[in-house]
Amino acid sequence: MNVQARPKAADDLLPLMGNEAIARGAWEAGVKVAAAYPGTPSTEILESLAQYPASDLYAEWSTNEKVALDVAIGAALSGVRAICCMKHVGLNVAADSLMSQSYIGAHAGLVLVVCDDPGIHSSQNEQDTRLFARFAGVPVLEPSDAQEAYDFTFLAFDLSEQFDTPVIVRSTTRLSHTRSVVRVGNRAAPPAKGFVDAPGKTVTIPANARRLHPKVIEREAKLAAWLETAPLTRWEKGDTTFAIVTGSTSYLYVKEVAPRASILKLGAAYPLPEATLRAFAASADRLLVVEELEPALETQIRALGLPAEGKAFFPRSGELSPELVRAGLAAAGLAEAPPEPVPLDIQPMARPPVLCAGCPHTGAFFALRGIDARVAGDIGCYTLAAVEPLRSIDTTICMGASIGNAVGMAAAGEKKPIVATIGDSTFLHSGIPPLIDAVYNKANITVVILDNAITAMTGGQDHPGTGQSLRGEPAPKADYEAICRAVGVTWIRRVDPYDVGHMYQTLREAIVHKGVSVVISERPCVLDPVRIKGTPLAVRQDGCVACQSCMNLGCPALLWSDELYEGRHKVRIDAAACIGCTLCAQVCTSDCIQPVAAA
């Protein structure tokens, strides 16, 4: 099978981001069903797929990554090509389905695109999907640039069908969000295969699973044999002093730093072409492995009895870079040490992460800090309330963990009032089961649902609570109060977080309620889907007493003034950033913050 063996328009060159290239490759491969849950750095893949005609493919934002994979599995078993997309931690959510589907196979092409986040730019941890692929027994392809992202995605569907397996395409932040020119072709959708009517294969009861597992092992051997001569495995011959095994974006760094080295570029990190690796190792005096994050390749190569060196010289955490690769080769005695960096007498301006000016979460967490509760947080913009000045979140584990964490705190006898905070999209993602658990087990906790009517942290994507689908069509809107009542919650209040006094009083009432209480904080995000801008406020400098109460909001529109009061700086407001939410006016002790027209 040749990755290039398909029609191409000779002059059809497009500047594509890695995620856009993945989407283009899937569309050209004839994908008919696409599902995902948004999460950086994977979000743009499904957003790009949704730009293609609805007559070509069905695309949806799913409530979570497992649902997305289940949707794709159902489509593939029904005979059409399907794709699901997620970030690395999303694969944890979808893992239950993946492990079983590895036994079942694919029928029609089934591709999972998983985008890792080396360096933890926007995630709660740093994990390596290549290890997950080996665990599940499914192949994982690793493109190194946007052209390969497009090519490998197209190829992944063919591999899925030829070897009857789900296929993972692994991207990283650096690839997903880097733009380059890609040569593209035309859509070539294969005919639908119809449903695979074979319950002995598609129903994973123990008797069937015991028979299917050996087929997974047999499939692995066939894939490894195919990779010996496949275009995904590329031996670039060079200096025989040392040889480097690499792949993904690490390959580009190696080419930049050691252009004359002998390189084995692996387009698939699992399974590995054993014969090629042995021949490559024998061709040079030393064998090095350059890879980001875990020693996935190094461990497998060492298991073959080959003397590979890798993580002794290259870091196991964070992104690689040409500088780090050069330093690693120097530490191995294979390159000159990089020059010492020139010291720069520059002090960078401190830019702590803050919520947006007028963010509705500000009022909620300002009030939460006031009640001195033990707060279990979750994943979303509001996680920024873990740092000063709001500093009101005590734990953040993963998507949907806050309510379960709060139940555990209550069971452990925590003395403070216990509050779980969770965003609207996160509540629908994985917050409902733990809420049921809390009610069922009579936990004495308060749950605050932070409803800003959008999936804000990943760029303003819709979800079942927004009333709009991925393609912008009207959709049924989830009712959070009705959901809470349906699972047995009896104490529920809805409140506008811009009303700080009401929010504070409602939380005070909620925490004294015995059992599960729910506060729904309702106010749209100020940036998505449209930027909200009201009458800005201003500070009357003659009235400001520099009490700094307003600065406890952490609003980026609030700045220090050059004027002093008793040796302390007064406050001023950046009118361009202010949206007129009035939170600062509500907490001002001297009533000197007023709308600009009245200032």
Binding-site positions for [4Fe-4S] cluster: 544, 547, 550, 555, 578, 581, 584, 588
Provide the residue type at 460 as one letter: G
Q: What is the DSSP string of 222-280?
A: HHHHHHTTSTTEEEE--EEEEEEEE-TTHHHHHHHH-TTEEEEEESEEES--HHHHHHH
For the record, the structure tokens of 294 come out as 């875990």
SS3 26: helix
Task: Name the one residue in this structure whose structure tokens are 């044999």.
Answer: 225
- Known binding-site residues equal 544, 547, 550, 555, 578, 581, 584, 588
Going by C-alpha positions, the residue among 43, 49, 42, 8 that lies closest to residue 26 is 49
Q: Mention every residue, 6+ apart, whose C-beta is less than 8 A from residue 444.
A: 410, 418, 514, 515, 516
d(CA 248, CA 259): 16
Q: What is the DSSP string of 117-164?
A: -TT-SSSS----HHHHHHHHT--EE--SSHHHHHHHHHHHHHHHHHHT
Cis ω on the peptide bond leading into residue 273 (within 30° of 0)? no
Task: Name the one residue in this structure whose structure tokens are 């996160």.
Answer: 426
- Phi first, then psi, for residue 107 (nearest 5°) are 70, -95
Angle at 397 between CA 552 and CA 391, to 5 degrees: 10
Task: Name the one residue in this structure whose structure tokens are 């856009």.
Answer: 20
Q: Tally Cβ neighbours within 10 Å of residue 106.
A: 27
d(CA 368, CA 552): 13
d(CA 513, CA 510): 5
User: Could you tell me what percentage of the chain is helix, strand and coil, using 3-state DSSP and rounding each to the nearest 5?
Assistant: 35, 20, 45
Q: Put residue 582 in one of left, alpha, beta given phi > 0 → left and psi -120 to 50 → alpha.
A: left
